[in-house]
Chain A
Amino acid sequence: MAFKGVKLTTILLFALVCFLFVPLFAAFMPLLENGAMANLKRALGDPRFTASFKYGLAQAGASTALALALGLPAAFLTAKRSFPGRRILASMAAVPFTVPPLIIAIAFVLFYGREGFLNRALMTLLGLKEAPLSFLYSFKGVVLTHGFYNFPLVMSFVGHAWSTVPKKQENSARILGASEGRVFFTISLPSILPSIGAALSLVFLMCFYSFVIVLLFGAPGAQTPEVELYRAARFQFDMPLASAFALAETMVAMVCLALYAAFEKFAGSDRTEVEYSRPVPFESKWGAALAALYLLFILIFFASPLVSIFFESFIVRSKPGRTHSYSFGLANYLELFMRPGFAKALLNTLLLGLASAGLASIIGFIFSVTLRSSRSMFLSRVLPLLPLGVSSVVLAFGWSSLIDGFSVFALIAIHAFSSWPFVYRAIHSGLGKSAKAYEKAAISLGSTRLGVIFRVYLPLSMPSIASGFALAFAMSAGDANAIIAAPGGGFSTLGLYIYRLAGVYRFNEACAAASILFIISVLVFMLKEPADDRP
Chain B
Amino acid sequence: MLQRQITLVLLQASILLRHPIGINYIDLIGLTARFVKAYIINTGVVLYARWAGLKGNASESKPEEPDPDNAGGGSMKHTRFFRYFSILVAIILMALAFSCSNKPDTALIIYAYDSFAGEWGPGPAIIAEFEAKTGIKTEMIVPGDSIEALAWLIEEKSSPRKGSASSKQADILLGLDGNTLPMAVAKDVLEAYKPLEADAIPEHLVLDQNWRATPYDFGSFCIMWDSQKLELPPQSLEDLTKPEYHKKLVIMDPRTSTPGLAFVAWTKSVYKDGMGEYWKRLKPSILTMAPGWDLGYGLFTSGEAPLVLSYTTSAAYHAEYETAGRYKPLEFSDGHPVQVEGVAIVKGTRHRKEAEAFIDFMLSPFVQELLPTTNWMYPVMPGTALPKSYDEAPLPKKLLPNEEALEQAVKLALDSLVY
**A→B interface (CB under 8 Å):** 1-4, 7-8, 10-11, 14-15, 18, 22, 25-26, 29-30, 32-33, 51, 102, 105-106, 109-110, 113-115, 134, 137, 211-212, 215-217, 219-221, 223, 227-228, 230-231, 234-237, 312, 317-325, 339-341, 359, 400-405, 407-410, 413, 448, 450-451, 454, 484-485, 487-489, 499-500, 502-505, 507
Contact = CB atoms under 8 A, between A and B. Distances in A.
Given A221-B289, A409-B96, A325 B167 contact: no
Contact of B74 (A1, A11, A228, A339): A1
A26 B302 contact: no
Contacts of B69: 1-3
Contacts of B78: 448, 450-451, 454
Interface string B112-153: 001101111000000000000000000111111001100110
Given A109-B299, A110-B302, A401-B155, A450 B82 contact: yes
8 contacts: A22-B32, A25-B28, A106-B298, A114-B304, A230-B255, A324-B323, A500-B118, A507-B297
Interface of B: 1-2, 25-26, 28-29, 32-33, 36, 39-40, 43, 47, 69-70, 74-75, 78, 81-82, 86, 92-93, 95-96, 99-100, 102-103, 114-115, 117-120, 139-144, 147-148, 151-152, 154-155, 167-168, 183, 228, 247, 253, 255-256, 261, 283, 286-295, 297-299, 301-305, 314, 317-318, 320-323, 326, 407, 413-414, 417-418
Given A400-B144, A487-B144, A409 B295 contact: no
Nearest to A312: B302
Q: From B117, B183, B294, B314, name the one whose CB has the most chain A CB atoms within 10 angstroms.
A: B294
A14 B39 contact: yes
A331 to B, nearest CB: 12
B370 to A, nearest CB: 15
Given A137-B288, A325-B228, A451-B78, A489 B117 contact: yes
B119 A339 contact: yes
Nearest to B79: A450
Interface pairs A-B: 8 shortest CB-CB: A407-B99, A221-B417, A231-B255, A215-B291, A502-B294, A115-B303, A29-B25, A450-B78
A319 B323 contact: yes
A29 to B, nearest CB: 4
Contacts of B292: 503
B301 A507 contact: yes
Contacts of B74: 1, 448
A115 B302 contact: yes
Contact of A220 (B29, B151, B261, B288): B288
A526 to B, nearest CB: 29
Contacts, number: 209
B299 A405 contact: no
Given A220-B417, A407-B99, A505 B297 contact: yes
Given A223-B418, A227-B253, A322-B323, A109 B297 contact: no
A237 B151 contact: yes
Given A29-B28, A500-B114, A220 B291 contact: no
B36 A216 contact: no
Nearest to B389: A320
A22 B25 contact: no
Given A32-B25, A404-B168, A454-B81, 16 more contacts: A14-B39, A25-B29, A29-B28, A216-B291, A220-B283, A235-B261, A237-B151, A237-B183, A405-B103, A409-B92, A409-B95, A487-B143, A488-B142, A489-B142, A502-B298, A503-B294
Given A400-B143, A400-B148, A503-B115, A217 B43 contact: no
Given A216-B288, A234-B147, A320 B323 contact: yes
Contacts of B155: 401
Nearest to B88: A362
A3 B295 CA distance: 53
B298 to A, nearest CB: 5
Contacts of B255: 227-228, 230-231, 235
A450 B142 contact: no
Contacts of A405: 100, 102-103, 167-168
Nearest to B143: A487
Nearest to A341: B119
A114 B304 CA distance: 6
A211 to B, nearest CB: 7
Contacts of B140: 489
Contact of B99 (A30, A359, A408, A507): A408
B100 A407 contact: yes
Nearest to A217: B288
Given A227-B253, A341-B119, A400-B143, A220 B323 contact: no
Contacts of A114: 247, 287, 304-305
A25 B288 contact: no
Contacts of B414: 221, 223
Q: From A102, A404, A413, name the one whose CB has the most chain B CB atoms within 10 angstroms.
A: A404
A507 B292 CA distance: 14
A7 B1 contact: yes
A410 to B, nearest CB: 6
B39 A451 contact: no
Given A325-B322, A500-B118, A18 B36 contact: yes
B153 to A, nearest CB: 12
A29 B29 CA distance: 9
A323 B187 CA distance: 53
Contacts of B118: 500
A454 B404 CA distance: 66
Nearest to A323: B323
Contacts of A408: 99
A484 B144 contact: yes
Contacts of B95: 409
A450 B290 CA distance: 55
Nearest to B179: A235
B304 A113 contact: yes
A502 B295 contact: yes
Q: From B95, B141, B289, B326, name the one whose CB has the most chain A CB atoms within 10 angstroms.
A: B289
A266 to B, nearest CB: 34
A115 B306 CA distance: 11
Contacts of B103: 405
A90 B299 CA distance: 31
A51 B305 CA distance: 29
Contact of B418 (A221, A230, A359, A410): A221
Contacts of A489: 117, 139-142
Nearest to A26: B29
A474 to B, nearest CB: 22
A52 to B, nearest CB: 11
A206 to B, nearest CB: 17
Contact of B256 (A134, A230, A322): A230
Nearest to A316: B322
A417 to B, nearest CB: 12
A487 B151 CA distance: 14
Given A14-B39, A236-B407, A503 B293 contact: yes
Nearest to B320: A320
Given A115-B303, A319-B322, A10 B2 contact: yes
A10 B144 CA distance: 36
Nearest to A321: B323
A487 B142 contact: yes
A450 B167 CA distance: 43
Contacts of A503: 115, 292-294
Contacts of A230: 255-256
Contacts of B290: 215-216
Contact of A401 (B26, B47, B302): B26
A14 B39 CA distance: 9
Given A25-B32, A235-B261, A11 B302 contact: no
